[in-house]
Each structure stands twice: as structure tokens, then as C-alpha cells.
Amino acid sequence: MALIGHRTTLQEHVAAGLRDKGPSDGLGAVIMAIANGSRRVQQQVQQAALADALGTTGETNVQGEIVQRLDKASSDIFVETLSASGQVAAIGCEEIERPVIVEGDAGGGFIVLMDPLDGSSNIDVAVSIGSIFGIWQKRPGETVNDDSLLRPGNEQVAAAYVVYGSSTVLVLATKNNVSGFTLDSGSGDSGSGEFALTHPNIRIPVECPYYSTNEGNNKVLDEPTQKAIALLRNKYSLRYVGSLVADFHRNLLKGGIFAYPADQNRKDGRLRLMYEANPLGYVAEQAGGAASTGYERIMDIVPTQLHQRTPLILGNKDVVEETVAVIKAG
Ligand code: P6P
């Protein structure tokens, strides 16, 4: 039996929440395109896990092909669903070097930057992975080109991520609202295939039990950053699965801070500004949290390259601010 029962669906939430929002009217279609794509990606992620079991026969081409295919397959799925929405003018994607410009009148008023499958290397150890989306509104009358995608995060109109874990949860952030929807995939035909509202009005908790960072990098951090991480280590419990969406989702719901600072080997940090830090920074801020490079607000960065990287300190606002203060103090 479908588990939806009386729960609000994503479709209903979007229809009610975005109705008569003027230029955002098409935003609902963009969000549903993300939802429809993530339903298909979730199925592929499950199959990949099964294929990986087959892969234990040592046929690395199956496992390698599946994972490689899965990154590209996820990208293809979301490019397809977003383009078909009729509301997207251009798409930037971690898997695609150049922006996808949706030609002709098929293109709409929105620009989407995405990491279609972040952390796919974790599939073969069954660790949660995710998809991340930042959504901007095309400038009025603009004919989009590659530079149209280089917008600061503070101009986003919405952001979303999907975590493919013990359940599949789509978290949607619009102005002053962050809500989570769980996919009722069921088994076989039993699931409704709908995303049901399970986490209404998410606010990142004031308490901060967790910090998430790769402690293996500590030796290559500069001294001020080492000092900041030491303070986190002394105060909080370490929770780090090495999958950005999973680490962020736990911290968003339970309270916590995620830190991937720059280091000697990664002068600009490891994570990507446009389709990781900006969207998750938007979600964090709309839920009462914060996102910083350690020196400035992530969403104030004026991007120069589609795939540029950034240090990222993300989560509970007070703890982000304390951490930034220690780094800045030198
Ligand atoms: P490290 C996954 O490959 C990823 O891009 C993020 O999801 C994750 O937060 C980070 O890299 C983990 O990096 O260096 O700790 O393995």
C-alpha cells in the first residue's frame, strides 16, 4: 500500500507555495523536473548496487562501466527532464565541460547549476550519495550564453538536493522555507512514486553535536585553520562519511558543521562553488544556518569559472561564525 496516506506531496507543496509568484510561476515545473529525474536516478543507483555485487566476480568492466555510466546517466537524465520542462534556458553540470544552452522556445526563464551525482565513488560501499541543484532566474530579456551561468549564489531563487540513502529525500529551499520530501518508492508497484512531505519547515538546530571534516587533511592545513578544527574537535563529535550531501543532510536535521577548507594540496579547496557550495549555502541560510569560505560568505563570491572550487564551512550559523573568526584571527 502506498505510504503517502494524508501527507502533502511535493507537487501540492509547490503548487500551493509558488502560486501567483509572478516570474517564479515556472519554478514549480523546474522543481518537478528535478523530482522526476531523481526518481529515475534512484532506480539506477539501486541497480548499480546490484551490478556491483555481480562485479565481485572480478569483472571490473561491469563495475567500472556502471559507475562511469551512472555519473553520465544521472547527468543525461537531469538534462533531459530539465530541458523538457520548458522552463530552463541553460544548465551547468559538473559532468559537462561547457553549459548546455536549451535552444529555441524550449528554453525558459531559469538557469540550473547541478552536480547530478555527488560522491558516486561511494556506491560500491553502499554509502549515501546525492544530487545538488542551484536555480537562478534568467535576467529579463537576456539571450543566455556561457557567461549567463556565472551568477553569485546570492541571486539564487531556489536550491534543492536529493540524498539517496536508507530513504530517498528531496530537500527544497525557497525564500524562507526549507522542506524535505521522502520518496514513496515502495517495492514493485506498491509505492506511489510520489515525494511526500516528511520534514516541513526545516530549521538547523541551535545545538551543534557534530563536526564533519576529513581529519586526514589536518597535517596540510595552515595553522589558523588547524586551530579552528582543533576547537571543533574539542567540542563536538566527528561524523564524516565522505559524501557531501549525506554529511550536510545529517547536520541540517541534527545540528552540525561541515568543513572542507583549503590546504597545501588544494589551494582553492576541493568542492565546487557553483553546484555544491552555492546551492547548499542557500539551503543552509534559508534554514537559519551559514556558509563561508573561512574569509567571506560563499554566496557573495562573484564566479569567474563554471567549475571553480572553493573552501567550504557550512552549517550551524553560530559555529560557522566562531570558526571563521578563529581562521581570520590568524
Ligand atoms: P575527501 C565526494 O567525492 C566529494 O566530492 C564530496 O561528496 C565529499 O564531501 C568530498 O568529496 C570528500 O572528499 O577528500 O574527504 O575524500
CA–CA separation, 228 vs 223, rounded Å? 9
| Dihedrals phi, psi of 114, to nearest 5 degrees | -145, 150
* C-alpha dihedral sign at 313, 319, 321, 323: negative
Q: Does residue 1 sit within a domain?
A: no
What separation in Å is there between the alpha carbon of 243 and the centre of ligand 1? 6
Q: Does residue 204 sit within a domain?
A: no
pLDDT computed for residue 57 by the predictor = 34
**Residues 225 and 105 reside in one and the same domain:** no
What separation in Å is there between the alpha carbon of 242 and the centre of ligand 1? 5
Q: Does residue 111 sit within a domain?
A: yes
What separation in Å is there between the alpha carbon of 317 and the centre of ligand 1? 22
Residue 144, all three cell numbers: 543566455
pLDDT computed for residue 63 by the predictor = 32
Q: Which residue among 260, 272, 276 has the greatest number of ligand 1 atoms within 8 angstroms of its CB, and so is best to mutate?
A: 260
Q: Does residue 78 sit within a domain?
A: yes
**Residues 192 and 218 reside in one and the same domain:** no
Does residue 200 line the site of ligand 1, with CB under 6 A?
A: no
Q: Which residue among 213, 244, 313 has the greatest number of ligand 1 atoms within 8 angstroms of its CB, and so is best to mutate?
A: 244
pLDDT computed for residue 45 by the predictor = 86
CA–CA separation, 289 vs 143, rounded Å? 34
Does residue 263 line the site of ligand 1, with CB under 6 A?
A: no
Number of domains in the chain: 2
The Cβ-side half-sphere exposure at 188, using a 13 Å CA radius, reads 2
Of 173, 199, 225, the position where a domain reaches its end is 199
Counting every residue, how long is the chain? 330
Q: Does residue 278 sit within a domain?
A: yes
* Residues spanned by the domain of 48: 10-199
What separation in Å is there between the alpha carbon of 125 and the centre of ligand 1? 14
pLDDT in tens, the chain (330 residues): 344 568 999 999 998 876 545 445 699 999 999 999 999 999 988 887 676 533 333 444 333 445 567 888 899 999 999 999 999 999 999 999 999 999 765 568 999 999 999 987 787 788 999 999 999 999 988 999 999 999 999 999 999 999 999 999 999 999 989 999 999 986 555 678 999 999 999 999 999 999 999 999 999 999 999 999 999 999 999 999 999 999 999 999 999 999 999 999 999 999 999 999 999 999 999 999 999 999 999 999 999 999 999 999 999 999 999 999 999 999
**Residues 193 and 220 reside in one and the same domain:** no
- The long-range contacts involving 61-69, CB below 8 angstroms and separated by at least 24 positions, are 63/124, 67/120, 67/121, 67/123, 67/124
What separation in Å is there between the alpha carbon of 105 and the centre of ligand 1? 38
Beta bridge partners of 290: 315
CATH number of 215's domain: 3.40.190.80
CATH number of 93's domain: 3.30.540.10
Alpha carbon of residue 91 to chain centroid: 15
What separation in Å is there between the alpha carbon of 240 and the centre of ligand 1? 10
**Residues 193 and 238 reside in one and the same domain:** no
**Residues 15 and 151 reside in one and the same domain:** yes
**Residues 258 and 298 reside in one and the same domain:** yes
- Ligand 1, atom 3: nearest CA belongs to which residue? 119
Q: Does residue 205 sit within a domain?
A: no
Alpha carbon of residue 111 to chain centroid: 15
Q: Does residue 5 sit within a domain?
A: no
What separation in Å is there between the alpha carbon of 241 and the centre of ligand 1? 9
8 Å CB contact between 41 and 164: yes
Does residue 118 line the site of ligand 1, with CB under 6 A?
A: yes
Q: Which residue among 270, 276, 313 has the greatest number of ligand 1 atoms within 8 angstroms of its CB, and so is best to mutate?
A: 270
- Ligand 1, atom 12: nearest CA belongs to which residue? 242
- Which atom belonging to ligand 1 lies closest to the Cα atom of 130? 7
**Residues 160 and 31 reside in one and the same domain:** yes
- Ligand 1, atom 13: nearest CA belongs to which residue? 242
| Amino acid symbol at 57 | T
- Ligand 1, atom 5: nearest CA belongs to which residue? 119
- DSSP-derived secondary structure letter, 206: S
**Residues 30 and 81 reside in one and the same domain:** yes
**Residues 170 and 271 reside in one and the same domain:** no
Of 180, 199, 218, the position where a domain reaches its end is 199
Does residue 215 line the site of ligand 1, with CB under 6 A?
A: no
Q: Does residue 148 sit within a domain?
A: yes
Beta strand 195-199 pairing with 177-183: antiparallel
What separation in Å is there between the alpha carbon of 122 and the centre of ligand 1? 10
**Residues 215 and 135 reside in one and the same domain:** no
- Dmax over CA atoms of the chain, in Å, equals 58
**Residues 186 and 49 reside in one and the same domain:** yes
What separation in Å is there between the alpha carbon of 245 and the centre of ligand 1? 10
pLDDT computed for residue 107 by the predictor = 63
pLDDT computed for residue 233 by the predictor = 98
Of 139, 164, 199, the position where a domain reaches its end is 199
**Residues 73 and 124 reside in one and the same domain:** yes
